[in-house]
Amino acid sequence: MKPIHVFKFGGASVRSAEAIRNLAQIVRKYKDENLVIVVSAMAKTTNALEALLQHWLNGETDALNQKVREIKSFHMGAALELVNGNSAHILIGELEVLFEQFDQQLSGTPTKGYDFHYDQLVSFGEIFSTRIVSHYLNFEGIPTRLLDARRLLRTDTSYREGVVDEKTSGLLCQREFDFVSANIYLTQGFIGGTEVGTITTLGREGSDYTAALLANLLGAQDVTIWKDVEGVLNADPKIFDSTCKLEFVSYQEAIELAYCGAQIIHPKTIKPLQNKRIPLYVKSFINPELPGTVIAHSDVVIKLPPVLVLKPKQVLITLSPRDFSFVIEDCLSKIFAILYKHRVKVNMIHTSAINFSICVDDEKLRMDAALEELRSDYMVRYNSNLELLTIRHYTAETIEKYIGGRTVYLQQRTRSTARFVIDAR
Interface residues toward ligand ASP, by CB under 6 A: 10-11, 40-41, 46, 125, 189-190, 204-207
Under rule CB under 5 A, residue 269 binds Mg ion: no
In angstroms, the CA 322 to CA 375 distance is 9
Candidates 17-25, 32-40, 250-258, 274-282; binding stretch for Mg ion (CB under 5 A): 32-40
Which residue number places its CB atom closest to ligand ASP? 207
Q: How far is the CB of 189 from Mg ion (least distance, A)?
A: 8
Q: How far is the CB of 193 from ligand ASP (least distance, A)?
A: 16
Closest CA to 108 of 57, 67, 44, 160: 57
Element (H, E) at 337: helix 329-341
d(CA 199, CA 94): 20
Q: Which does 206 bind (CB under 5 to 8 A by kind): ligand ASP, Mg ion, none?
A: ligand ASP
Q: Closer CB to ligand ASP, residue 71 or residue 319?
A: 71
- The option from ligand ASP, Mg ion, none interacting with 162 (CB < 5 to 8 A, set by class) reads none
Q: Which is nearer to ligand ASP, 228 or 400 (CB)?
A: 228
Binding residues with Mg ion: total (CB under 5 A): 3
CA-CA distance, 75 to 91, in Å (whole number)? 11
125 binds, among ligand ASP, Mg ion, none (CB under 5 to 8 A by kind): ligand ASP
**46 versus 314: smaller Cβ distance to Mg ion:** 46
Quick one: angle between helices 124-139 and 45-58, nearest 10?
140
Residues, the chain, total?
A: 425
Question: CB 14 → ligand ASP: shortest distance, Å?
Answer: 10
Q: How far apart are CB 190 and ligand ASP at their closest, in Å?
A: 4
Q: Applying CB under 5 A, which part among 39-47, 150-158, 349-357, 391-399 lies near Mg ion?
A: 39-47
For residue 109, which of 52, 51, 56, 60 has the smallest C-alpha distance?
A: 56
Q: State how far the alpha carbon of 257 is from the alpha carbons of 68, 232, 234, 337, in Å.
A: 36, 10, 10, 26
Residues 60 and 47: their CA atoms lie apart, in Å, by: 17
Q: Is 272 in the site for Mg ion (CB under 5 A)?
A: no
The C-alpha angle with vertex 87 and arms to 83 and 91, in degrees rounded to 5, equals: 85
C-alpha to C-alpha distance for 46 and 50, rounded to whole angstroms: 6
What distance in Å separates the CA atoms of residue 365 and residue 380, rounded to the nearest whole number?
16
Is residue 127 a contact partner of residue 188, using CB atoms and an 8 Å limit? yes
Considering the complex, state which of residue 263 and residue 385 has its C-beta at the smaller distance from Mg ion.
Answer: 263
Q: Which of 13, 40, 144, 284 binds Mg ion (CB under 5 A)?
A: 40
By C-beta, is 205 or 256 nearer to ligand ASP? 205
**Cβ–Cβ under 8 Å, residues 66 and 35:** no
Q: Are strands 293-296 and 280-284 parallel, antiparallel or unpaired?
A: antiparallel
CB of 350 to ligand ASP, least distance (A): 30
Binding segment for Mg ion (CB under 5 A), chosen from 9-17, 67-75, 90-98, 244-252, is: 9-17
Q: Which residue in 11, 192, 261, 267 binds Mg ion (CB under 5 A)?
A: 11
Q: Which is nearer to Mg ion, 46 or 123 (CB)?
A: 46
What minimum distance in Å lies between the beta carbon of 383 and ligand ASP? 28
Residue numbers at the binding site for Mg ion (CB under 5 A) = 11, 40, 46
